[in-house]
């Protein structure tokens, strides 16, 4: 099979998505978001998200096939996010994908959603060079991975010990009164602020903790420090310089991510850093990673914005990798895994 055609289905959180990938070509890409329904609650409500997935599943898959001018008969395999993610949301996508696979007689792959965030970069940049390092930054994950052989062998180099970068941003955004999701608001305000106005700590970078966790991340203390600063300024009756707070936070977080990623590249002799996950849409992080990459002789591959957030293209692309590698499809009765480890590429 020269260029496998895979239908990818995504439903881990608040996006229902379906896409068709042929080899390294994105043929169609459909995303339906329920984000507006969650905004009034200040975060994703799993029950609302699950219901939205159930409503959007058939329209999304139908449109992905129509846009590609295909039917299920034209597809070589189906891939679906089986974890990590919200259990109810995963159940909707996996149940629907199993029904499609059973009805069409197509092989089905239950894949790791987070690894999909790495795989999707191939649509833009091509195959992975040997010993690639990958930085995953999203609402729930901040991890550094060594991709020895995609999709057969991936090792975890470092991971977040508490809040992920995206969680930290969302929590600070709430303190500043921004609506959910807060990340884009912090990004926009940061562009107008002074990144050195406020001293924001950098977790696990100094002293004994930094030495013990050279590649791990901790952003809980960052969130707390910014919260304390805001509380102190408010108690003194000072007006909060929102732009400066956002710029200082964004710069600090981006600096930690970039430094640790470059240190990992040096450790593994990697000349390529793949970046993926919703938080990689952040403009300060993108600029900082490209700046550090140039300084250290590392090619930084950051996908276009539409491929950073959750989408079906990343699921389909990882499915293509699994088909090409000759890896057996998932067993028909595989279960979702809401806390799937990053070393598991497919079930």
Is 221 annotated in a binding site? The answer is no
Tell me, what's the pLDDT at 156?
95
Q: Is 38 annotated as a binding residue?
A: no
Q: 1 pLDDT band (50/70/90 cuts)?
A: low
pLDDT the model gives residue 46: 84
8 Å CB contact between 262 and 160: no
Q: Write the pLDDT tens digit of every residue in 183-192.
A: 899 999 999 9
pLDDT per residue as tens digits for the range 255-293: 999 999 999 999 999 999 999 998 999 999 999 999 999
- State yes or no: 139 annotated in a binding site: yes
Question: What rounded mean pLDDT belongs to the chain?
Answer: 94
Do residues 160 and 217 make contact, with C-beta atoms less than 8 angstroms apart?
yes
Q: Known binder of ligand: residue 53? A: no
Identify the structural domains of the chain with CATH numbers, from first to last: 5-120+309-325 (3.30.420.40), 126-307 (3.30.420.40)
- Lowest-pLDDT range of 41-45, 133-137, 293-297, 309-313: 41-45
pLDDT at residue 167, rounded to an integer? 87
Q: Does the annotation flag 137 for ligand binding?
A: yes
Instruction: Collapse the DSSP code of 32 into the 3-class scheme (helix H, G, I; strand E, B; otherwise coil) and give the result.
Output: strand
Taking residues 104-130, report their average pLDDT.
Answer: 96
pLDDT at 303: 95
Answer yes or no: is 136 a known binding residue.
yes
Would you say 187 is a known binding-site residue?
yes
Contacts of 82 (CB under 8 A, 6+ apart): 90, 94, 110, 111, 112, 113, 330, 334, 335, 336, 337, 340, 346, 347
97 within 8 A of 299, measured Cβ to Cβ: no
Examine the pLDDT at 43 and tell me if it is beyond 80: no
pLDDT at 204 (0 to 100): 85
Residue 345 is predicted with a pLDDT of: 96
Annotated binding residue at 321?
Answer: no
User: In terms of DSSP H, where are the helices of 213-271?
Assistant: 220-235, 242-268
pTM of the model: 0.94
pLDDT interval class at 96 (50, 70, 90): very high
Annotated ligand binding at 310? The verdict is yes
pLDDT of residue 218: 92
User: Strands, E, within 98-170: which ranges?
Assistant: 108-112, 132-137, 142-149, 153-159
Taking only the tens place, the pLDDT of each residue in 158-177 is: 999 998 888 889 889 999 99
Residue 37 confidence (pLDDT) above 80: no
Average pLDDT estimate for 228-248: 95
Span 136-163, mean pLDDT?
Answer: 91
Q: Is 75 annotated as a binding residue?
A: no
């Amino acid at each position: 099979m020269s260029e496998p055609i895979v239908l990818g289905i995504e439903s881990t959180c608040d996006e229902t998505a379906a896409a068709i990938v042929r080899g390294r070509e994105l043929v169609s890409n459909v995303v339906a978001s329920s984000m507006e329904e969650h905004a009034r609650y200040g975060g994703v409500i799993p029950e609302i998200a699950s219901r939205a997935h159930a409503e959007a599943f058939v329209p999304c898959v139908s449109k992905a096939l129509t846009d590609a001018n295909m039917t299920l008969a034209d597809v070589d395999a189906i891939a679906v996010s089986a974890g990590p993610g919200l259990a109810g949301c995963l159940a909707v996508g996996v149940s629907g994908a199993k029904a499609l696979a059973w009805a069409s007689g197509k092989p089905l792959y239950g894949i790791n959603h987070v690894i999909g965030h790495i795989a999707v970069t191939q649509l833009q940049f091509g195959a992975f060079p040997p010993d690639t390092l990958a930085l995953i930054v999203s609402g729930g994950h901040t991890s550094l991975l060594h991709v020895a052989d995609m999709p057969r062998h991936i090792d975890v180099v470092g991971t977040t010990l508490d809040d992920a970068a995206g969680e930290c941003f969302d929590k600070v955004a709430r303190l500043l009164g921004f609506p959910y999701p807060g990340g884009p608001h912090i990004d926009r305000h940061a562009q107008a602020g002074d990144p050195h106005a406020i001293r924001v700590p950098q977790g696990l970078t100094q002293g004994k903790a930094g030495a013990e966790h050279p590649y791990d991340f901790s952003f809980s203390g960052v969130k707390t420090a910014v919260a304390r600063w805001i509380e102190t300024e408010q108690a003194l009756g000072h007006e909060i310089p929102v732009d400066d707070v956002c710029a200082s936070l964004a710069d600090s977080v981006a600096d930690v991510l970039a430094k640790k990623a470059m240190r990992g590249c040096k450790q593994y002799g990697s000349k390529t850093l793949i970046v993926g996950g919703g938080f990689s849409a952040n403009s300060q992080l993108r600029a900082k990673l490209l700046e550090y990459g140039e300084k250290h002789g590392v090619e930084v591959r950051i996908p276009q914005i539409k491929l950073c957030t959750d989408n079906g293209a990343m699921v389909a692309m990882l499915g293509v990798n699994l088909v090409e590698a000759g890896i057996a499809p998932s067993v028909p009765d595989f279960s979702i895994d809401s806390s799937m480890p990053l070393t598991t590429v497919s079930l």
